């Protein structure tokens, strides 16, 4: 028997300046489900992701978690959600293990093994290397490894495949599958396919005639990295 959704967004709409970028978006997610957000550049995938995370206020509609508006119990929602934005959000002077330990402390929950998390992404041997000496792909793996350090029911992944090679993409697919098997939920905004079990797909289509010359991706905030909630 299918479980009831924990996350719901009803009739969501967003403005960019005075331009309506999407409207009438409905989102539902139950334990074990994956939702992939697709759409052309500037369609509003990142805006919708940040709206679900509570970082952007909907122009219309409402996002609920466990039946209640996310703003009614912000701390409770953030305790069950991790939002991974465009930027890695790592402290470059710290090692990979130190970054993961810091994230665990910020979550305020019992953290899991940094060694296990790094090994899941194939970089267990980089545990003691300062992040500033790593390649973009290695940094991305460290950032994603934080998903495994502190528990969260809902993962929001904005372009998680950026800078990853084929092996790392396969590892992320395995991590996402394991999270779903344990009852976790994932929303991923990505132009590419995520390996593993298929999920639902939501295409965001602009409501007005769309001019590619005016298209741009949603601007990430300076702090737009993997966060303990928001």
pLDDT tens sequence across 78-131? 999 999 988 889 999 999 999 999 999 888 756 678 999 999 999 999 999 999
Q: Using alpha carbons only, how large is the chain's radius of gyration in Å? A: 17
Instruction: Check whether 188 has a pLDDT greater than 90.
Output: yes
Same domain, yes or no: 118 and 166: no
pLDDT digits (tens, 9 = 90+) for 119-136: 999 999 999 999 999 999
Residue where one domain finishes, among candidates 108, 123, 151: 151
- Residue 24 shares a structural domain with residue 93: no
Give yes or no: residues 125 and 17 share one domain.
no
Helices (H), 80-165: 96-107, 114-120, 136-145
The whole-number average pLDDT for the span 52-63 is: 95
Boundaries of domain holding 143: 88-151
Q: Are residues 104 and 53 in the same domain?
A: no
Together in a domain, 115 and 157? no
The alpha carbon torsion through 194, 102, 66, 32 (nearest 10 deg) reads: 30
Note whether residue 225 is domain-resident.
no
The band of 1, judged by pLDDT with boundaries at 50, 70 and 90, is low
Which has the higher per-residue pLDDT, 98 or 17? 98
* 212 or 38, greater pLDDT: 38
Residues 109 and 65 in one domain: no
Does residue 156 carry a pLDDT above 80? yes
Q: Does 116 share its domain with 59?
A: no
The answer as to whether 93 is a domain residue is yes
* Residues 100, 141 share a domain: yes
| Same domain? 58 vs 168 | yes
Among 163, 189, 185, 165, residue whose Cα is nearest residue 176: 185
Residues 76 and 160 in one domain: yes
Within this chain, do residues 147 and 183 fall inside the same structural domain, yes or no? no
Judge whether residue 216 has pLDDT over 80: no
- % of the chain residues with pLDDT over 90: 73
Would you say residue 142 lies in a domain?
Answer: yes
Per-residue DSSP letter, 215: -
pLDDT mean over 53-57: 93
Q: What is the CATH number of the domain that holds 167?
A: 3.40.50.300
Higher local confidence (pLDDT), 228 or 17: 17
pTM greater than 0.95: no
- How many domains does the chain contain in total? 2
Average pLDDT over residues 138-165: 95
Q: Among 27-41, 168-182, 205-219, whose mean pLDDT is lowest?
A: 205-219
């Amino acid at each position: 028997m299918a479980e009831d959704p924990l996350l719901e967004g009803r009739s969501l709409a967003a403005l960019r300046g005075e331009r309506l970028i999407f409207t009438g978006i409905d989102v539902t997610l139950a334990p074990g489900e994956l939702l992939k957000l697709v759409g052309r550049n500037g369609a509003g995938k990142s805006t919708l992701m940040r709206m679900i995370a509570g970082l952007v206020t909907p122009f219309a509609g409402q996002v609920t978690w466990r039946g209640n508006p996310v703003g009614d119990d912000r701390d409770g929602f953030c305790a069950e959600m991790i939002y991974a934005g465009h930027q890695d959000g790592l402290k470059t002077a710290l090692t990979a293990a130190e970054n993961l330990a810091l994230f665990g402390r910020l979550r305020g929950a019992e953290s899991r093994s940094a060694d296990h998390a790094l090994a899941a992404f194939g970089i267990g041997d980089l545990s003691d290397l300062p992040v500033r000496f790593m390649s973009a792909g290695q940094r991305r793996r460290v950032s994603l490894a934080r998903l495994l350090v502190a528990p969260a029911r809902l993962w929001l992944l904005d372009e998680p495949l950026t800078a990853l090679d084929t092996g790392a993409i396969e590892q992320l697919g395995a991590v996402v599958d394991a999270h779903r098997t344990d009852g976790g939920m994932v929303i991923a905004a990505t132009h590419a396919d995520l390996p593993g079990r298929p999920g639902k797909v939501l295409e965001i289509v602009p409501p007005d005639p769309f001019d590619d010359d005016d298209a741009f991706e949603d601007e990430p905030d300076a702090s737009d990295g993997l966060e303990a909630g928001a």
